[in-house]
């Protein structure tokens, strides 16, 4: 028997995802046509022996989250439950706090997945490696180039046994080109080191300040408090993958993740990809169109386009490398490139909405998305264009490399601006 835990974080996280996270919790943002964490749940549900999927986070269990959980339970015929933390507890605190729920029924092992990663989730391979050689912690690792490895948790392994000898979270100098993917397989004994960290935090808290004791004691960072401390002690092992993997920290990385997942659909969900049909729009590359969307036959879509529920795409529209969200309208002959069009937004006739992609170097197979910051030297860096919820763009204007906050009605063109 197996279980899976998906760590979905909380509203104080995902600030780089604004203005998109104003409308919907980041884990429910649609990537390649389905909520971000549905990709995780689909992968977990396919593992034989999976009994239950638990979501742990600090979001209020509001209507969208509850609706999503009910739909997921029906679709995958598995219990999918949300456990809300009493305070943000870090990547390991929630696992320790809800240890009884995780271990109920006596699972042989449980997967732990971060919600903000995009992957092909080689969970069955990890399980086979774990059963071949059981250890408390198995980490999924991939390779990065020397410069980008500094942005991730770096793993030094024994090449013969794959034991993790050394682990450093976001080092200041080069340590290793193997990075932590944020996807793990833990055996029940893995909770013992978490307990040790909890008691140590409790004692430190009593020495410092008893008033904030519980918040301090309950906060456990898996990477720094557990992996770094236990590396080289024969408890942590790494399973390397060369499959797709990317972090989803910002809107730009959501667009890149959408491209990776749409490419993956060729193998996993060919029914989700739009086909070229007589009298239908022209499809180039991988495109997802929600069944309720209305797309004019003269529109040209793709590659890497995802069109949400109830979207209207007018005659002569050109869409490429973009996500169009629920209820948006693109009027005739608009051109939308490298952009995310928010819920219920309208782009007027002959308008152009364009962004600048921040994709990994295509000539370096080990390159990943850079964790972009919005500004450099006080200037807004060129990035994808984001229209928040219910934005109205007039006819015949250009919106380039800009972020438009929700409920704005624009009257002219903008370039390289954040429109508040």
Total number of residues shown for the chain: 420
* Cα–Cα distance for residue pair 404/327, rounded to 1 Å: 17
52 token code pair: 């239950």
* Cα–Cα distance for residue pair 326/343, rounded to 1 Å: 5
Backbone φ and ψ for 179, nearest 5 degrees, come out as -120, 155
User: Burial code of 236-252, b = ≥16 C-beta within 10 A, e = fewer?
Assistant: bbbbbbeebbbbbbbbb
DSSP states along 112-130: EEETTEEE---HHHHHHHH
* Cα–Cα distance for residue pair 249/8, rounded to 1 Å: 12
Task: Tell which residue, 35, 254, 328, 22, has the closest CA to residue 319.
Answer: 328
Q: Helix or strand or coil: residue 395? A: coil
pTM as predicted: 0.92
How many angstroms from the chain centroid is the CA of residue 33? 13
**Count of alpha carbons within 13 angstroms of residue 304, beta-carbon side:** 18
pLDDT band at 257 (very low <50, low <70, confident <90, very high): very high
266-311 pLDDT tens trace: 999 999 999 988 888 999 999 999 999 999 999 999 899 999 999 9
List, in sequence order, every residue forming a beta bridge with 379; answer none if it has no partner. Answer: 376
Q: Which of 190-194, 214-218, 352-356 has the highest mean pLDDT?
A: 352-356
Q: Helix or strand or coil: residue 98? A: coil
* Cα–Cα distance for residue pair 320/402, rounded to 1 Å: 17
- Residues 236 and 136 sit within 8 Å (Cβ to Cβ): yes
Give the chain's domains with CATH numbers. Answer: 2-247 (3.90.550.10), 274-419 (2.160.10.10)
44-94 pLDDT tens trace: 999 999 999 999 999 988 889 999 999 999 999 999 999 998 888 888 889
Q: What is the DSSP letter of 271?
A: G
The residue ranking higher by pLDDT, 297 or 214, is: 297
């Amino acid at each position: 028997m197996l279980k899976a835990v998906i760590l979905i974080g909380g509203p104080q996280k995902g600030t780089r995802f604004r203005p998109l996270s104003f409308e919907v919790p980041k884990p429910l943002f649609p990537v390649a046509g389905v909520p971000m964490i549905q990709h995780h749940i689909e992968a977990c549900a396919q593992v034989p022996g999976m009994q239950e999927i638990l979501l742990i986070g600090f979001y209020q269990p509001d209507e969208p989250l509850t609706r999503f959980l009910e739909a997921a339970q029906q679709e995958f015929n598995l219990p999918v439950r949300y456990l809300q933390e009493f305070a943000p507890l870090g990547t390991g605190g929630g696992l320790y706090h809800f240890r009884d729920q995780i271990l109920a029924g006596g699972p042989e092992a449980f997967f732990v997945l971060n919600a903000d990663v995009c992957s092909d989730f080689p969970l069955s391979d990890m399980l086979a490696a774990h059963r071949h050689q059981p250890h408390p912690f198995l980490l999924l690792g991939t390779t990065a180039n020397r410069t980008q490895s500094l942005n991730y948790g770096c793993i030094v392994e024994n090449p013969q046994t794959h034991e993790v000898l050394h682990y450093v979270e976001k080092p200041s100098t080069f340590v290793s080109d193997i990075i932590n993917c944020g996807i793990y397989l833990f055996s029940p004994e893995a909770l013992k080191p978490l307990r040790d960290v909890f008691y140590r935090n409790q004692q430190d808290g009593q020495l410092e300040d008893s008033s904030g004791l519980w918040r301090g004691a309950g906060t456990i960072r898996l990477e720094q408090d557990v992996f770094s401390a236990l590396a080289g002690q024969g408890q942590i092992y790494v399973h390397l993958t060369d499959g797709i993997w990317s972090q989803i920290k910002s809107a730009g990385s959501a667009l890149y993740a959408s491209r990776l997942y749409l490419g993956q659909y060729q193998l996993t969900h060919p029914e989700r990809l739009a086909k070229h049909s007589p009298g239908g729009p022209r499809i180039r590359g991988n495109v997802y169109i929600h069944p309720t969307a209305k797309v004019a036959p003269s529109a040209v879509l793709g590659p890497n386009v995802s069109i949400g529920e109830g979207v209207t795409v007018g005659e002569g529209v050109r869409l490429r490398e973009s996500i169009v969200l629920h209820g948006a309208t693109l009027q005739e002959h608009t051109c939308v490139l490298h952009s995310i069009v928010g819920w219920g937004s309208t782009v007027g006739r002959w308008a152009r909405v364009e962004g600048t992609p921040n994709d990994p170097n295509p000539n370096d197979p080990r390159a990943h998305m850079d964790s972009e910051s919005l500004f450099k030297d006080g200037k807004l860096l060129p990035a994808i264009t984001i229209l928040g919820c219910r934005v109205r763009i007039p006819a015949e204007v250009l919106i380039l490399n800009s972020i438009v906050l929700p409920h704005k009605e624009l009257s002219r063109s903008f370039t390289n601006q954040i429109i508040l």
